[in-house]
Structure 1
Amino acid sequence: MGADVWELGDAYEAYVGRWSRQVAVAFVRWLSAPAKARWLDAGCGTGALSSAIFGTAGPAAVVGVDPSLGFLREGPAVKVNGDAAALPLRDGSVDVVVSGLALNFVPRPEEAIAEFVRVVAPGGLVASYVWDYDAGMRMMRFFWDAAIAVVPGAAGHDEGPRFPICREPALRAAWSAPGLTGVATRAVEIPTVFRDFDDFWQPFLGGQGAAPAYLATLTAAEQADIRERLRSSLPTAPDGTIALTASAWAVKGRKPAGSAG
């Protein structure tokens, strides 16, 4: 299986970054974290979630950690190159740990969650959100359905079955396993309206993310077949716009107040 590609921030922004910003704001509001808290944004990417924290939550500070240097852009957050499963932070050094659209790309999510619990202070909040790849992230669902119809082997790259952590029961269980309390989940749905077919299709040619990286491995003829299947299957309005929705699953819980480390 080819690796997902996460190197070019601009290509990511065109692909899903523009939509993830809307989810990030709804997610931060749902957390209702106190002002002046110290935040960690694990897997911060191009900064959509960090920006939502600064714009919505009134933090004292935000540290963003990401393994891709190409995603660590300038901004108000302190950016650190690092791994969510081996965070370069001290035990109990932040009040809130969040991770947006990244946990499923960690090879062993349970190790990242253990790190989130380690670095958050007792009584602190640990939370995350991931795309609902099974059905809710409709732009990707349309893509994979078309790709599998053209190249049956594409099923092995489909993010729905590949990422079991991106389902509500799995997220709830993952947050309960390390002893977090008050675990709660919710779905966050946003509109994703494309101005025309090119606005939908061109970001898939950018090579950033699982679907675009897979598409880049195909022949020109296969890519063309997928494109035309999408063109005929997408719900296109008379003015050319394509109105879809994108859903993410969010989860939150607290580190018990008496916990150490």
Structure 2
Amino acid sequence: MSEVWAAGAAYEAFMGRWARRAASVFVPGLGVPAGGRWLDVGCGTGALTAAVLALADPREVTGIDPSAGFLAHARAQVADPRVTFCTGDAGALPYPGAWFDAVAGGLVLNFLPDPARAAAELARVAAPGGVVAAYVWDYAEGMAMLRHFWDAAAMLDPAAVALDEGVRFPLCRPEPLRELWEGAGLIGVRTEPIVVPMEFTGFDDFWTPFLGGQGPAPGYVASLPGEHRAALRDLLRERLPAGPIALTARAWAVRGRQER
């Protein structure tokens, strides 16, 4: 099963709306003074960049991501002269060292082929005393929408267990995040939870975003034959409340500073 990261509107419907809620909690907690130069690594459709603009009063924000489709969506949604969006790789950032006052990544670390290399790059481009931070969903226990999905998928298809982000991404917990940041040479490293509500108007609002093909769970749905897909849909419908569905999503945030 391949994972697709290209269609910005489909990603927004599936995960972007919740990423924006997490970003609105994450950014103020970093305590970056107004007028700073920010780098948003793995900026995707622009959720974190938008939160920085709204809540941190930056001098400028640079967003970098490998997906041209996501960047096109971000440019269309975030129209501000302080923002520049660029195509690039978190493991080889095209910026000079000690350049940004704040370097941050939202929901990206666990999808990188070499998180340690990326963390070192984030630290490298941070100015002395600059903040380096990230947040990731707690896929194993705290991301209720995906927990419901993968538990149901595994009941119908035991092979789905190996695709579950809660199994695949052990980084999405406090201790591994702390170790990653400290391994990059950052100081004053702290981790903390971010919990946001997820409200769905009904089952269709919950299920339809899984049909968009963006990311692991929607990619799995896209790979299923029609009969199996319908069986998964029906099982989820049985297991979830009727009417409005109220869930929560927990992310883990990590932050540290570059030495002065």
After TM superposition, is the score higher than 0.5? yes
1:120–1:255 Cα contact (<8 Å) kept: yes
The equivalent residue for 1:248 is 251
1:179 CA displacement: 1.8
Percent identity between matched residues is 53
1:232 aligns with 2:246: no
Considering only aligned residues, what root-mean-square deviation do their CA atoms show, in Å?
0.8
Contact 1:67 1:83 in 2 (8 A): yes
Which of 161, 167, 180 is the matching residue for 1:161?
167
CA distance in 1, matches of 2:241, 2:41: 35
Asked if 1:223 corresponds to 2:239, the answer is: no
**Aligned partners of 1:3, 1:108: CA distance in 2, in Å?**
18
What letter matches 1:40 in structure 2? L
- Aligned counterpart, 1:125: 131
Matched AA of 2:231: D
Q: Deviations over 1:38-73 (max 9, x none)?
A: 000000001010000000001010000000000112
Following TM superposition, where does structure 1 have runs of at least 4 consecutive aligned residues deviating by more than 2 angstroms?
none
Aligned length: 253
Aligned to 1:7: 6
Could you tell me how far apart the structure 1 residues matched to 2:185 and 2:98 are?
16
| Ranges in structure 1 where 5+ consecutive residues have no aligned partner | none
Task: Give 1:103's aligned residue.
Answer: 109
Residue equivalent to 2:46: 47
| 1:172–1:251 Cα contact (<8 Å) kept | yes
- Counterpart CA distance in 2 for 1:23 and 1:188 is 7
Alpha carbons 1:151, 1:222 under 8 Å: kept: no
Give me the whole-angstrom Cα distance separating, in 2, the residues matched to 1:85 and 1:33. 24
Return the offset for 1:125.
0.6
Local SS of the residue matching 2:223: coil
Structure-2 residue corresponding to 1:140: 146
Partner SS for 2:171: helix
Matching of residues 188-199 of structure 1 within 5 Å:
188-199=194-205
Structural mapping, 1:29-40, within 5 Å? 29-40=28-39
The TM-score normalised by the length of structure 2 is 0.96
CA-CA distance at 1:235 after TM superposition: 2.9
